[in-house]
């Protein structure tokens, strides 16, 4: 007997990626079902697009989707796909409240939930993500944390899987989540087939190397703002945080506390991220050697530089250069 898959169609708060997630999920799960049929097996899912309106508009009315049913008509489902929504989400819109109630009720009845990118906002509105891990687009993480402080945001992970709730990183990485779900609900062979047919890299686990660090500036602590400016302008120097806290007439412990509260990073972590961001840009766009880049951003120990670079990006400096620099000049 087939399981039931519900792909939600939000009636409002939709972003440009919302329709991509909906169509992508429908296309790949349909492809997985067809692969099963071709091999004499029953499809795993009956797939339905469900919403709260007879039609939903996207991209300023340029595109429309007509859900196949209303969520109120679905009595039971096994897996719910929650597409990305607009990243300027500041609260649940009234039109989407039925979706949140539907997710909450179905999860209690045993359904599993999978949200794509900023779909985490809708899922978090249920409260079901509280005290659970969640990945989403790195560019919206700080905003999301402000709205849902009880959720454990892990932007370094591409996919999280916890208690029947799945989340994934940003952009089109939702395709990797779909492959993950195909393998989980179908089998490895079907997932590999979908990977090849839709040309999606399988077994990708991290989005760390895609992160662009711009610093967390959406706070109102003037001391921390000044410290951030100083770090970003003098990142290549040897910075004493003891001296920096004295510079702004703040005790060291209080300085660290305020810095962590404002940015989510310790001063040292912030400095490391700034250094590595400058190193990444140099590795992407110049023919400088890894040693030259290391010295330019203020490191003198190659082992330490490699360890911190890998911790932040998930790749070694050499791997990063080989991936993102067309010249690929190494040493």
Q: What would the pLDDT profile of 190-202 be if each residue is shown by its tens digit?
A: 999 999 999 998 8
In the three-class reduction of DSSP (H, G, I as helix; E, B as strand; rest coil), residue 156 is classed as: coil
Residue with tokens 């996207």: 58
Residue with tokens 């779900």: 181
Cα(302)–Cα(216) distance, integer angstroms: 28
The CA angle 46-48-50, to the nearest 5 degrees, is 155
Residue with tokens 């410290």: 227
Residue range 270-284: mean pLDDT, rounded: 92
Return the percentage of the chain with pLDDT > 90, whole number: 64
Q: Is the pLDDT of residue 256 over 90?
A: yes
Cα(252)–Cα(43) distance, integer angstroms: 61
Identify any residues that bridge with 5 across adjacent strands, giving them in sequence order: 47, 79
Q: What is the pLDDT of residue 219?
A: 84
Mean pLDDT of the chain: 90
Q: Is the pLDDT of residue 73 over 80?
A: yes
Residue range 50-74: mean pLDDT, rounded: 79
Q: What is the pTM of this model?
A: 0.75
Residue with tokens 């305020």: 258
How many Cβ atoms sit within 10 Å of the Cβ of residue 188?
11
Q: Is the pLDDT of residue 43 over 70?
A: yes
Contact present, 114 and 29 (Cβ < 8 Å): no
Contact present, 145 and 179 (Cβ < 8 Å): no
Contacts 24+ apart (CB under 8 A), 123-127: 123/82, 123/165, 123/167, 124/148, 124/151, 125/92, 125/100, 126/100
Residue 46: Cβ-neighbour burial (10 angstroms; 0-12, 13-18, 19+):
middle
When pLDDT is cut at 50, 70 and 90, the band that residue 109 belongs to is: very high
Backbone φ and ψ for 155, nearest 5 degrees, come out as -70, -15
Strands 165-168 and 159-162: what pairing?
A: antiparallel
Domains of the chain: 3-210 (3.40.50.880), 222-324 (1.10.10.60)
């Amino acid at each position: 007997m087939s399981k039931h898959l519900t792909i939600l169609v939000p009636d409002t708060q939709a972003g440009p990626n919302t329709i991509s997630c909906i169509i992508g999920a429908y296309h790949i799960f349909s492809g997985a079902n067809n692969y099963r049929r071709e091999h004499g097996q029953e499809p795993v899912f009956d797939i339905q697009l469900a919403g709260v309106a007879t039609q939903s508009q996207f991209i300023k009315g340029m595109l429309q989707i007509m859900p196949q049913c209303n969520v109120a008509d679905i009595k039971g489902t096994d897996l719910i796909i929650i597409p990305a929504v607009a990243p300027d989400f500041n609260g649940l819109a009234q039109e989407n409240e039925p979706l949140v109630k539907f997710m909450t009720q179905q999860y209690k009845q045993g359904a599993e939930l999978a949200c794509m990118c900023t779909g985490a906002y809708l899922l978090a509105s249920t409260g079901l993500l509280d005290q659970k891990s969640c990945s989403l687009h790195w560019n919206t993480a700080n905003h999301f944390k402000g709205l849902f402080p009880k959720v454990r945001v892990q932007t370094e992970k591409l996919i999280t899987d916890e208690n029947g709730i799945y989340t994934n990183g940003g952009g089109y990485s939702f395709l990797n989540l779909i492959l993950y779900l195909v393998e989980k609900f179908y089998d490895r062979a079907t997932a590999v087939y979908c990977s090849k047919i839709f040309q999606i890299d399988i077994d990708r686990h991290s989005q760390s190397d895609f992160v662009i660090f711009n610093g967390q500036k959406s706070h109102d602590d003037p001391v921390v703002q000044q410290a951030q400016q100083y770090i970003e302008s003098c990142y290549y120097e040897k910075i004493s945080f003891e001296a920096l806290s004295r510079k702004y007439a703040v005790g060291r412990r209080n300085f660290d506390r305020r810095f962590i509260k404002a940015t989510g990073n310790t001063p040292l972590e912030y400095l490391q991220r700034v250094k590595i961001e400058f190193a990444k840009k140099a590795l992407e766009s110049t023919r400088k050697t890894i040693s030259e880049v290391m010295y330019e951003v203020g490191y003198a120990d190659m082992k330490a530089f490699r360890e911190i670079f890998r911790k932040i990006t998930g790749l070694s400096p050499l791997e990063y250069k080989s991936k993102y620099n067309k010249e690929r000049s190494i040493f």
